[in-house]
Amino acid sequence: MDKDRLDPWGTSAIKDYSRLQSEFGIEPLAPLVPRFKKPSPHMRRGIDFGQRDLARIVEAVERNKPYAVMSGIKPTGDFHLGTKMTADDMVYFQSLSKKGTVFYAIADVEAYADNGLSFEQTAKTAVRNVADILALGLDPDRAVVYFQSEELKVMRLGIVFSRGVTNNMLRAIYGERQIGLYMAALFQAGDILMPQLPELGGPKPVLVPVGADQDPHIRLARDLAARYHDDFGFVPPSSIYHKLERGLTGSGKMSKREPASGFTLEEAPAVVSKKVLASFTGGRATIEEQRRLGGQPDICPVFDLYNFHFAPDNEYATRVYQECAGGIRMCGECKQEAATLVKEFLVQHRKKRTALMKDAEELLVKSRRYLISAGK
């Protein structure tokens, strides 16, 4: 992160989340939490920390009005912990009301352009990715999953936006970038705003759950929503921000681009165990010191594993934190315990996912049919 810019394509960690509020205008989440009947684990554990216009979503839920939850995935491989986190948020926000629809974009054009993956390859990966999100609890009856490469509505919006945006606006948000990244950002704004097109029910609140480093994309989409308000009636999209998981290697954020920093939901349990057991921690130099000073869960990627994903409930996560900070919990056992939880989760998840492969295919077919007929 450079001095005055967030980098959605970088790998560095964010050190001070409060700065995001003063510098970028991300609003705190806390004041809104009481309006949720059952706040999500991410909200309760301080993982979700900020928002923009989340009140619009809360109001839609309270008044039983339609809203959408939007996110996307680059189908370059299996679900990673980062994708899981966003998926968990989507599932949660979909569950708040029968009027909530999830839009899930499969960025296969990007996977092709950046990673050289053919559309056939990514189509296969996408089915697995969709099965993953179903296994995490997505309701397929209120979900629309689409391939960017097949969604002309998104491409058209991207092109329209490209004419309305100034280079200075893009530079202010993203810094000086290669044009392909600007283009990807504009199409992504198309993804975010598509649910508000007349053929998809018209203007409505749309929530985009993202990692804090993705805020530039939100700002662009919000700028464009304002700029094209007269043409499309766009409501500025809302966002909720989660903290970034620390990489297991101890350097920067956990990232798909650095496989050693995390793991996918499909990696062999033995490999995952190894990664967890070898993880960097917030532990002290000696056991003696750790007993005396306590560990440092706030900088520990192993604590993040508990807190972001694998602690069975909030009390469990809190207990781990307190035992660590209190010098009772030592890193060796803690990693063992984490590895066991991870392994149990993975085994269960895979079972569910395998059983849901057919549902995933059906959801893709159904979504496509819906979007094509909506375009007419």
Q: Which spans of this chain sit near a copy of itself (rule: CB under 8 A)?
A: 109-110, 112-114, 149-150, 152, 155-156, 159-160, 162-167, 170, 176, 178-180, 182-184, 186-187
Minimum separation from the CB atom of position 232 to a copy of itself (A): 12
Minimum separation from the CB atom of position 150 to a copy of itself (A): 7
Distances (CA, A) of 175 to 85, 130, 179, 235: 27, 33, 11, 26
Minimum separation from the CB atom of position 4 to a copy of itself (A): 21
Of 110 and 304, which CB lies nearer to a copy of itself in the complex structure? 110
Distances (CA, A) of 262 to 132, 155, 304, 347: 17, 33, 11, 17
Show the CA angle centred on residue 331, arms to residues 258 and 10, nearest 5°: 20
Minimum separation from the CB atom of position 183 to a copy of itself (A): 5
Q: Please enumerate in sequence order all residues whose Cβ is within 8 A of that of 264, keeping only pairs 6 or more positions apart, or say none.
A: 77, 78, 79, 80
Of 22 and 178, which CB lies nearer to a copy of itself in the complex structure? 178
Of 79 and 147, which CB lies nearer to a copy of itself in the complex structure? 147
Q: Give the three-state DSSP class for 301.
A: helix
Show the CA angle centred on residue 79, arms to residues 76 and 82, nearest 5°: 105
Minimum separation from the CB atom of position 162 to a copy of itself (A): 4
- Here the contacts of 117-120 (C-beta below 8 Å, separation 24 or greater) are 117/75, 117/76, 119/147, 119/149
Minimum separation from the CB atom of position 3 to a copy of itself (A): 22
Fill in the DSSP letter of residue 197.
S
Of 79 and 182, which CB lies nearer to a copy of itself in the complex structure? 182
- Could you tell me which residues are beta bridge partners of residue 68? 101, 206
Of 162 and 296, which CB lies nearer to a copy of itself in the complex structure? 162
Of 51 and 76, which CB lies nearer to a copy of itself in the complex structure? 76
* Phi, psi for residue 128 in degrees, rounded to 5: -65, -45
Minimum separation from the CB atom of position 225 to a copy of itself (A): 17
Of 96 and 186, which CB lies nearer to a copy of itself in the complex structure? 186
Tokens of 240: 């909720």
Question: Distance (Å, rounded) from C-alpha 146 to C-alpha 240?
Answer: 22
Of 179 and 270, which CB lies nearer to a copy of itself in the complex structure? 179
Minimum separation from the CB atom of position 346 to a copy of itself (A): 34
What is the secondary structure of 11-37 as a DSSP string? -PPPS-HHHHHHHH-PEESGGGGGGSS
Minimum separation from the CB atom of position 228 to a copy of itself (A): 11
Of 90 and 165, which CB lies nearer to a copy of itself in the complex structure? 165
Start-to-end CA span in the chain (Å): 44
